[in-house]
């Protein structure tokens, strides 16, 4: 792919350079690798697995654990293995970091992740993530694209969020709910706090572990791998209900529920779908299931659900997650796994690279000390994000002209204009000066009070109005949604 500059891009870049010189007062720390020329790199190469280490078969929890430990031992400079907790039945919830800096955070290097097998009977993603690990570590020295990605990104891969459910699932079962839930019978993708509705389902060890995990690491981009359909589904998954009766019929006449970053979510979904061998064709899995234009859909427009993981991560922590439904059959025969890998390999790589699109930088005080947990948002997009303990921030944006709003306790707010171009991320530093408090003034956390529930340092859209479900209507709605999700993903 050649690098092309349009007149518009050049003009935008000129505006950006001028605005950057006027607004940036410090220099971004030197990074070990550049991230400008992703488009100029050759495409990732096809991967042929070495069956000595990993074959196209399903792996139980003990086999999965052995593979992760062996890979970490073989590639100590590229991998780091850790557990975020345990399932109800005591199985480790493993995560493997794949990066040229696996054990320590490098300044300016974003954290991204994949999570598989959140529904235990949807294990294709579980196996593809093992092959993604093997592909990345074995290609680092020979594939320029993989080397660029690992040199500039910390990739956290969680092959199975629901190992207990997987243990009771049956190969060859394309539909149904056996193994979908955790060992207590909870659907883990309905178990997170919800922006639109109060979620009264008791928190489970697996979801509690994930919530703790993402509260500690500022993830920029995430993909959740599922089965039962062939589509990339983006937030919001839920939508406000006008009445309990409306919630019942919403399953069959659903409408889109769009985020302030709808353009970005559609773009991320299209990146996955168009690099997939089949997804962008929008072909229905079965005659009775929906077809999706370009292989993407808004989650609520497909069918609304309460307590989904992607909505929670976006609203609470600013992480952009897309749900990736990658197999029409939930648990296909093992001999089909090679085909699924070939269909998804390029998509999985290209999707992660999108973390290097948009704006990134640092927030400092006037002594060049990083400001941790500064609150940021793009003006007009009222879902916020925050800085790391090193003062870093990232936001995926499409080319255009934007304003960044920055707030931190004890500092005067700032608004900075910047331009995003297609060819490379915009690098932006922000220096905040101490605020002059006047008697009776309120702290930032009270001036910008969020809706109840999410952390107080983030920004969200105004609280939507809805009538809570209750009684018979709630039971009918829940039953219909469970039936729909069991059939179609």
pLDDT tens for residues 110-149?
999 999 999 999 999 999 999 999 999 999 999 999 999 9
- Angstrom CA distances, 163 to 85, 334, 448, stand at 12, 18, 40
Cα gap 274→294, rounded to integer Å: 8
CATH 3.40.630.10 fits 61-356, yes or no: yes
Can you give the pLDDT at residue 122? Answer: 98
**According to CATH, where is 2.60.40.1120 located in the chain?**
359-434
Can you give the pLDDT at residue 154? Answer: 98
Give catalytic residues, as residue numbers.
325
300 pLDDT higher than 90: yes
Q: Average pLDDT for residues 327-356, to the nearest whole number?
A: 97
Can you give the pLDDT at residue 43? Answer: 86
Convert 316-338 into a string of H (helix), E (strand) and C (coil). Answer: HHCCEEEEEEEECCCCCCHHHHH
- Angstrom CA distances, 481 to 8, 98, 156, stand at 47, 36, 31
**According to CATH, where is 3.40.630.10 located in the chain?**
61-356
More confident residue, 483 or 473: 483
Average pLDDT, the chain: 85
Nearest to 380 by CA among 394, 395, 363: 395
Can you give the pLDDT at residue 281? Answer: 95
Cα gap 489→233, rounded to integer Å: 11
Among 67-81, 141-155, 229-243, 332-346, which stretch is predicted with the lowest mean pLDDT? Answer: 229-243
Nearest to 222 by CA among 409, 404, 95, 398: 95
Task: Work out the pLDDT band at 27, boundaries 50, 70, 90.
Answer: very low
CATH number of 359-434: 2.60.40.1120
Task: Name residues whose C-beta falls within 8 Å of residue 441's C-beta, 6 or more positions apart in sequence.
Answer: none
Task: Name residues whose C-beta falls within 8 Å of residue 198's C-beta, 6 or more positions apart in sequence.
Answer: 468
Task: Work out the pLDDT band at 10, boundaries 50, 70, 90.
Answer: very low
Cα gap 329→333, rounded to integer Å: 9
Residue 80 forms beta bridges with which residues? 97
This prediction has a pTM of: 0.85
Cα gap 102→105, rounded to integer Å: 8
Can you give the pLDDT at residue 48? Answer: 78
Can you give the pLDDT at residue 143? Answer: 95
Query: Could you read off the pLDDT of 154-198 as tens digits, one per residue?
Result: 999 999 999 999 999 999 999 999 999 999 999 999 999 999 999
Cα gap 432→404, rounded to integer Å: 13
């Amino acid at each position: 792919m050649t690098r092309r500059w349009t007149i518009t891009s050049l003009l935008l870049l000129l505006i950006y350079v001028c605005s950057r010189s006027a607004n940036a007062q410090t220099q971004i720390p030197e990074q070990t690798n550049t991230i400008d020329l992703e488009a100029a790199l050759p495409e990732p190469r096809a991967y042929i697995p070495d069956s000595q280490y990993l074959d196209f078969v399903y792996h139980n929890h003990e086999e999965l654990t052995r593979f992760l430990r062996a890979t970490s031992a073989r590639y100590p400079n590229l991998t780091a293995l850790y557990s975020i907790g345990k399932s109800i039945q005591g199985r480790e919830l493993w995560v493997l970091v794949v990066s040229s800096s696996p054990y320590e955070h490098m300044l300016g290097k974003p954290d991204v992740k994949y999570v598989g097998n959140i529904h235990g009977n949807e294990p294709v993603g579980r196996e593809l993530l093992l092959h993604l690990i093997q592909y990345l570590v074995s290609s680092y020295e020979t594939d320029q694209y993989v080397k660029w990605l690992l040199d500039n990104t910390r990739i956290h891969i969680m092959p199975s969020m629901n190992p207990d459910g997987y243990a009771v699932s049956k190969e060859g079962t394309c539909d149904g709910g056996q193994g979908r839930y955790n060992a207590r019978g909870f659907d883990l993708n309905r178990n997170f706090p919800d922006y639109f509705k109060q979620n009264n389902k008791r928190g489970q060890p697996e979801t509690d572990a994930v919530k703790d995990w993402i509260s500690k690491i500022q993830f920029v981009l995430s993909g959740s791998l599922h089965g039962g359909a062939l589509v990339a589904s983006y937030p919001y998954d839920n939508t406000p209900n006008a009445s309990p009766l409306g919630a019942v019929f919403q399953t069959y006449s659903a409408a889109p529920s769009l985020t302030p970053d709808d353009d970005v979510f559609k773009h991320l979904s299209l990146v996955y779908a168009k690099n997939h061998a089949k997804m962008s064709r929008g072909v229905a899995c079965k005659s009775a299931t929906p077809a999706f234009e370009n292989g993407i859909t808004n989650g609520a427009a497909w069918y609304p659900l309460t307590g989904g993981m992607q909505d929670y991560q976006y609203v609470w922590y600013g992480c952009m997650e897309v749900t990736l439904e990658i197999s029409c059959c939930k648990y296909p025969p093992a001999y089909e796994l090679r085909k699924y890998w070939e269909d998804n390999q390029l998509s999985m790589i290209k999707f992660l690279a999108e973390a290097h699109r948009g704006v990134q930088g640092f927030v400092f005080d006037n002594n060049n000390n990083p400001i941790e947990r500064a609150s940021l948002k793009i003006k007009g997009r009222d879902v916020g994000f925050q800085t790391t303990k090193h003062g870093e921030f990232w936001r995926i944006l499409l080319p255009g002209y934007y304003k960044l709003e920055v707030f931190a306790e004890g500092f005067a707010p700032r608004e900075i204009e910047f331009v995003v171009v297609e060819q490379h991320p915009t690098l932006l530093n922000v220096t905040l000066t101490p605020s002059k408090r006047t008697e009776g003034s309120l702290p930032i956390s009270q001036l910008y009070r969020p809706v109840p529930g999410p952390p107080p340092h983030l920004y969200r859209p105004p609280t939507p109005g809805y009538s809570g479900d209750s009684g018979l209507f709630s039971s009918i709605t829940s039953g219909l949604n469970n039936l729909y999700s069991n059939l179609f993903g």
